[in-house]
Chains A and B, each alone.
Chain A
């Protein structure tokens, strides 16, 4: 089927009643959960996964993608109104969004965020449409060695780019792969690390890890902050923007749509880093940097464009290579695997309706988000006043029932609780959780592609060094791994010298 037919079948699905209904449901759920400080997009997606089990895979992905970019869109609302970012990707929005709201112009700040998000989201979907097919046509010649190299690159990139300590991120990744080695080894049939427990033979389900490490661990923080009184801004002021506001926003929105998209495509970066880089670069080239931090229009437009552009950008490696570049897309990949869809370079030819259906639904979703966020935002923001105790018990119940409905086994629920405790302790000791879930999902694929490579090469490791694409990918991965370690050693020397 040519691209054109594929696009048509995608249009048909995305614009069907079901398609429109579920993208609306997805973006609304995403907006709500994204707004709640403490609950991030990974929790949002993981909570929705059980609902998709019996769905058509395209509709399921339409729904989950909607939750993802809806959460990034909605996260800005609490950044602006409460100075409590709903998700990490909208922290930079609060730098100027909150001061503007303090001046009584909350409505203006929300409108800027909504328009910038819409622009970033829509421009990057166009770019996604152009680049994903291109990348998959390149990747179609990839064999197991190239895939192995790609996965190593994805893992090291997320580790080196995640905040704080590289070593901690790498440890999280190794623990993630260790967790996936539990169960029967698919190639030899050996039961690994099962402690003779029949419940562990099939391994640990990724939803247990995702909901535990994210939803339950985030709940722990909500419990601690349960008394934070949220005073709803009764009067958010006018949503109208002046002509000069639009003029001011045009520059950052154009630049950050492209920059954000590129950062989203790169493994490891994603919405959070894109929003910070967007904020910093625009501040550097601004004529009035002293206004920044006090409610600058551009200071809201730049991070909001960048984070939404990065969100669609993250779909490029997921849809065209089948390799997730972030924790969130890793959870999406896990959800697709449950639905028997194997994303990769063949997806666009084998399942064109899914590939194009999801992309087209993103245009629809962004329009919904704009409509939802502009006139309705004062009403939607009321969600923020949901009493925390109720929210906490409901999220716990959703997580429990989500896991139970895949295995019908209470053993998995105890595992879920254990991963919740692990996730909470990781947060206490500043270990990032995203590398763990990414490694958990990539781990099994990585071991398989390594074994396949070695079988092709008759047990000769040189296969990774004689194929040009594989060796260059591994080279980049090595750099991503060594450079931060070297920097750490150097900063240690410096701190020793100074003390």
Chain B
């Protein structure tokens, strides 16, 4: 009964809705406001539970193509998780090393990781794009980006 993927998704959604509703009932209320801040959340929580229930009892109408999408080969899953981790590292070091440096490293390493073999082209792109973006943002748009450890 629980094998169908849409049923599992429906249960997850119901759990989210229940948690959201629980939080909605914790919201403080003010007597003088006509529609208080907890009205909409309560409606939304109930609506999500109802819709998840409908989803649960619906027939599985996914096409074979849609099901096939979930068949991700291990090597691709590895690439996805690897890129995800690289992004985490990028965010972590963005304000420490500065935009230019961390972007250069990210572009070069991420492209290499995804299987790009032309190292010279990769290096040129990795230098050119962050530097020109930095100049566009700071000089033309007046938006300052973290300069980090570079003396600029």
A54 to B143, CA, bound (A): 9
Q: Is the CB of A447 within 8 A of B40?
A: yes
Q: Is the CB of A190 within 8 A of B20?
A: no
Residues of A within 8 A of B120 (CB): none
Q: Is the CB of B35 within 8 A of A454?
A: yes
Q: Does A478 contact B (CB under 8 A)?
A: no
Interface size on B, residues (CB 8 A): 68
From A54, A188, A226, residue with most partner B Cβ within 10 Å: A188
Q: Is the CB of B114 within 8 A of A178?
A: no
Q: Is the CB of A405 within 8 A of B145?
A: yes
A219 to B87, CA, bound (A): 12
Residues of B within 8 A of A294 (CB): none
Residue in chain B with minimal CB distance to A181: B41
Within 8 A of A (CB), among B38-87: 38, 40-41, 44, 47-48, 51-52, 54-55, 58-59, 61-62, 66, 69-70, 72, 76, 79-80, 83-84, 87
A187 to B29, CA, bound (A): 12
Q: Is the CB of A171 within 8 A of B106?
A: no
Residue in chain B with minimal CB distance to A193: B23
Within 8 A of B (CB), among A141-173: 164-165, 167-168, 170-171
A346 to chain B, nearest CB (A): 25
Main secondary structure of the interface of A (DSSP, over half): helix
Number of A-B contacts (CB under 8 A): 173
Q: Is the CB of B125 within 8 A of A394?
A: yes
Residues of A within 8 A of B38 (CB): 190
Q: Is the CB of B52 within 8 A of A171?
A: yes
**Is the interface on chain A under 10, 10 to 19, 20 to 34, or 35 or more residues?**
35 or more
Q: Is the CB of B145 within 8 A of A401?
A: yes
A410 to B33, CA, bound (A): 36
A132 to chain B, nearest CB (A): 30
A54 to B138, CA, bound (A): 12
Residues of B within 8 A of A51 (CB): 136, 141
A393 to B72, CA, bound (A): 21
Residues of B within 8 A of A427 (CB): 69
Q: Is the CB of B33 within 8 A of A397?
A: no
A396 to B102, CA, bound (A): 13
Partner of A401, one of B58, B92, B99: B99
Q: Is the CB of B110 within 8 A of A389?
A: yes
Main secondary structure of the interface of B (DSSP, over half): helix
Residues of A within 8 A of B136 (CB): 51
Q: Is the CB of B125 within 8 A of A192?
A: no
Known: A174-B47, A390-B111, A390-B125. A405 touches B143 (CB 8 A): yes
Known: A188-B33, A451-B34. A54 touches B54 (CB 8 A): no
Q: Is the CB of A171 within 8 A of B80?
A: no
Stretch at the interface among A31-39, A373-381, A485-493: A485-493
Q: Does B15 contact A (CB under 8 A)?
A: no
Residue in chain B with minimal CB distance to A443: B40
Interface string of A469-495 (1 = CB under 8 A from B): 000000000000000010010011001
Q: Is the CB of B48 within 8 A of A175?
A: yes
A484 to chain B, nearest CB (A): 11
A222 to chain B, nearest CB (A): 9
B113 to chain A, nearest CB (A): 8
Partner of A171, one of B51, B79, B91, B95: B51
Q: Is the CB of B111 within 8 A of A393?
A: yes
A389 to B112, CA, bound (A): 8
Residue in chain B with minimal CB distance to A410: B91
Interface residues of B (CB under 8 A from A): 5-6, 9, 13, 20, 23, 27-28, 30, 33-38, 40-41, 44, 47-48, 51-52, 54-55, 58-59, 61-62, 66, 69-70, 72, 76, 79-80, 83-84, 87-88, 90-92, 94-95, 99, 103, 106-107, 110-116, 118, 121-122, 125, 129-130, 133, 136-137, 141-143, 145
| 26 A-B interface contacts by CB (under 8 A) | A54-B143, A171-B13, A178-B48, A187-B37, A190-B27, A223-B76, A223-B83, A226-B114, A389-B115, A393-B106, A393-B111, A396-B87, A397-B90, A397-B129, A397-B133, A401-B99, A401-B103, A404-B94, A413-B91, A429-B5, A429-B70, A451-B34, A455-B34, A455-B35, A458-B34, A459-B34
| Known pairs A178-B48, A188-B37 / 10 extra A-B pairs, C-beta < 8 Å | A51-B136, A178-B20, A178-B44, A187-B35, A393-B107, A401-B103, A404-B145, A405-B143, A417-B88, A455-B34
Q: Rank and list the top 9 A-B pairs by shortest CB-CB distance, nearest first.
A: A389-B114, A389-B116, A393-B110, A185-B37, A190-B37, A389-B111, A413-B91, A393-B107, A451-B35
